[in-house]
Chain A
Amino acid sequence: MNLSQTILGVKFKNPTVLASGIWGITASSWRRVARSGAGAVTTKSLWLKEHKGHPNPVIISTEHWTLNAVGVPDAGIEKAREEIGDYMKDHPVPLIANVIADTVSNFAKTAAEIARLKPDFLEVNISCPNVEDEFGKPFACDASSAADVTKAVKAVSGKTPVFIKLSPNVDNIGMIADFCASAGADGFTVINTVGPGMAIDLRSRMPILSNKVGGLSGPAIKPLAVKCISDVYRATEGKFPIIGTGGVLTGEDALEMMMAGASLIGIGTGIAYRGGEVFRLVTEEMEDWCEKEGVKKIEELVGSTHKKLRIDN
């Protein structure tokens, strides 16, 4: 069973994508993840200038969930040029460059610099929940702000498709996606981490994360992600590709997200649960399921739950 798709002119050998913020700081790491079977890789969020993250502990985990407040550390644009430039020499699988900034104009500046490096897609991180102390509410929590960033990035991104990474921590994710679509977004990444959440150590009575709170990911958030993907797909009438992300561990998780409306499947925290092989494993599990269920083309699954609901109604 062939799981390849062409999305906005870019060919993906399978739907799995390394999610931003996980493993992907260097060209070597992107290549390593590509070798382990990912259909595409996403960079960790790239800043114009260097940005220090939070002190440790920044990532803690149980069998059900992971909390992170790494604080989006990055060495700035020079490092991005070096690493992306290096990766693009052989470019084993598509590269999605994730950008972040503190203001609308800095989003545009960062995106302009990164777009010049010719990544396959730009992904705009307007939804990180663990830098609120520094920057206030994420842009993704307000439809107009999200649209402003989208418009500013689209103005400088040239032919590179722009995906907006949305926050689940809103009550109107569909409307926010719709605003971004009107502002020129080419696709969406749904969702960033949930919360933030908090974990407390009993003996010391202290919050464990140095930042006290952090974004929630891992298996616990999958149903939320499925709902958000479904909302965005419906609000944008299935016209925009969605990278569905949040708690995917298995091929069945990935297929569920595709039925909700995702074309590609981001995997991040899943690496902590199944190792670096998770991309290959998820792909094989999807192939097995599709073969058994008689699915001919993977595209027919995308948004199929919505089609089913329409027919039944």
Chain B
Amino acid sequence: MSSQIPIQNRLPKTYPISKVKQETEMVKTITFDVSFGARPGQFVMLWVPGVDEVPMSVALDDGKKLQVTFFAVGDTTRKLAEFKKGDLVGIRGPFGTFYEWSAGDRLALVAGGYGAAPMYFVAKEAVKDGCALDVFVGARSKKHLLYLNEFGKLQKTKVHVSTDDGSAGLKGFNVTLLQQFLAEVSTPRLRTGSTADAVDRVFACGPERMLLAVSELSHYRKIPAQLSLERYMKCGFGLCGNCAVDPLGIRICTDGPVVKNDLLRKITEFGKYHRDSMGQKQKT
């Protein structure tokens, strides 16, 4: 950890929404004509004046505009889903760690549900660095699949799809697809126990149960993985302690949300419980 905190905007300022796109029945993408210099995997705090402020993964920051994709599931996101072009939303950030890769890497990206949004941001940037991508997109059903068209347009990117109900792609989980894929690409090297040449890194963003499976699989295959962990956040820059995890005591807003698998595996609450706004343990 460096002794100086990188530049972040910690005081929210409102910006008008410049575009609203309905992605699926419950999911929207909103665009702001402002850049926060966010990297893929980082988050911003979105403030809906008079309602609440919530952490949101950045779906895109191209130096000119910022996008977030959200699922209208809680009070704040439902209110935000009613917002139209021109409505004001407060933004501060960017906060937290980001996905890291090297130029020319072969990457496996695992995206569950609206985790597809930050993964698309990763994909878009990684392709610029000459990376080859296999993207494993999973959702409940065909109509809940996100960013398939966008992924499909990227160079050197192969998209693998799964749905819980089988309405598109494999019926089942995207981790099953990842498992099959890793088995195929790594077969020749199984004897050495290394698949490093086949896939350089696995990145994942999605529900915690999916992350747990990706963590186990990547560990078993000895492939470095980076996974985005979600915890209840208030300040976003390490003061309130609400997102500190057991038993390490590290704060997911500063040492996460993107956590390397070696570190993640030391977080014993991972896959088991998280804490609510009062610090009380809640089963995951």
Cβ contact within 8 Å between A23 and B241? yes
Would A60 and B10 be within 8 Å (CB), given that A201-B49, A275-B4, A276-B1 are in contact? Answer: yes
Residue of A nearest to B243 (CB): A25
B278 adjacent to A52 (CB under 8 Å): yes
**CA A62 – CA B241 in complex, angstroms?**
19
Is A307 in the interface zone, CB < 8 Å from B?
A: no
- Contact A22 to B240, CB < 8 A, known contacts A56-B53, A79-B280, A204-B90: yes
Give the contacts of B235-284 with A (CB-CB under 8 A).
235, 237-242, 244-251, 254, 275-280
List the A side residues contacting B11 at CB < 8 Å: 60-62, 199, 208
B92 at interface by CB-CB < 8 Å: yes
Interface residue? A268 (CB, 8 A): yes
Find chain A residues with CB under 8 A from B3 CB: 274-275, 277-278, 281
The answer to whether B247 touches A271, judged by C-beta atoms less than 8 angstroms apart, is no
Q: Is the pair A50, B278 in contact by a Cβ cutoff of 8 Å?
A: yes
Which has the most chain B C-beta neighbours within 10 Å: A23, A56, A202?
A56
Q: Which residues of B contact A26 (CB under 8 A)?
A: 241, 244, 246, 249, 275, 279
Complex CA–CA separation, A277 to B277 (angstroms):
25
Task: Contact check, A60 vs B54: say whether CB atoms are below 8 A apart.
Answer: no
From A28, A31, A51, A62, contact of B245 by CB (8 A): A28
Complexed CA–CA distance, A24 and B237 (Å): 14
**Among B1, B14, B251, contact of A277 (Cβ-Cβ < 8 Å):** B1
Which residues of B, 66-109, contact A by the 8 Å Cβ criterion?
A: 88, 90, 92
Asked if A79 meets B279 with Cβ closer than 8 Å, knowing A23-B239, A62-B10, A272-B239, the reply is yes
Q: Are B88 and A22 in contact (CB under 8 A)?
A: no
Q: Which chain B residues border A263 with CB–CB below 8 Å? A: none
A55 interface residue per 8 A CB criterion: yes
In this complex, which of A25, A33, A74 has the most chain B Cβ atoms within 10 angstroms of its Cβ? A25
A32-B249 in contact (CB<8A): yes
How close is B159's CB to chain A, nearest CB, in angstroms? Answer: 36
What B residues does A51 contact at CB under 8 A? Answer: 278
Q: Is A193 an interface residue (CB 8 A)?
A: no
For A33, list chain B residues within 8 Å (CB). 249
CB distance from B48 to the nearest CB of A (A): 10
Q: Verify if A44 is at the interface (C-beta below 8 Å from B).
A: yes
- With A26-B279, A79-B279, A275-B4 known as contacts, the answer to whether A58 contacts B13 (CB < 8 A) is no
Pair A57/B12 contact, Cβ less than 8 Å: yes
The answer to whether A204 touches B45 (Cβ under 8 A) is no
Bound-complex Cα distance A271 to B237 (A):
9
Which listed residue, A50, A62, A272, touches B280 by the CB 8 Å rule?
A50
Bound-complex Cα distance A28 to B245 (A): 7
- Report A-chain residues with C-beta under 8 Å of the C-beta of B238: 23, 271-272, 275-276
Q: Which of A24, A32, A60, A73 contacts B277 (CB 8 A)?
A: A73
A25-B12 in contact given A51-B278, A56-B234, A275-B5 (Cβ < 8 Å): no
Cα A206 to Cα B12 in complex, Å, equals 11
Chain B CB within 8 A of A53 CB: yes
> With an 8 A cutoff between CB atoms, is B33 at the interface?
no
Task: Report whether B239 and A56 are in contact in the complex, using a CB–CB cutoff of 8 Å.
Answer: no
Q: A70 contacts the other chain (Cβ, under 8 Å)?
A: yes
The docked-state distance in angstroms from the alpha carbon of A22 to that of B49 is: 25
A274 to B280, CA, bound (A): 28
**A159 at interface by CB-CB < 8 Å:** no
Chain A hits for B2, CB < 8 A:
275
Give the most central of B50, B52, B88, B240: most A CB within 10 Å.
B240
**Residues 251-290 of A contacting B (Cβ, < 8 Å):** 268-269, 271-278, 281
A85 to B276: give the CA distance in the assembly, Å: 20
How distant is the Cα of A277 from the Cα of B255 in the complex, in angstroms?
Answer: 13
Q: Report if A210 contacts B (CB, 8 A).
A: yes
Asked if A273 contacts B5 (CB within 8 A), the reply is yes
Cβ contacts under 8 Å, A199 to chain B: 11
- Is there a chain B Cβ closer than 8 Å to A203's Cβ? yes
Instruction: Report A's interface with B, CB cutoff 8 A.
Output: 22-26, 28-33, 44, 50-53, 55-62, 66, 68, 70, 73-75, 79, 199, 201-204, 206, 208, 210, 268-269, 271-278, 281
12 additional A-B residue pairs with CB within 8 Å, beyond A24-B241, A52-B277, A56-B54? A22-B241, A25-B275, A30-B249, A31-B249, A57-B45, A57-B53, A58-B235, A59-B239, A59-B240, A73-B277, A276-B1, A276-B238
Sampled A-B contacts (9; CB under 8 Å) = A23-B244, A26-B244, A26-B249, A29-B249, A32-B248, A58-B234, A61-B10, A75-B278, A272-B5
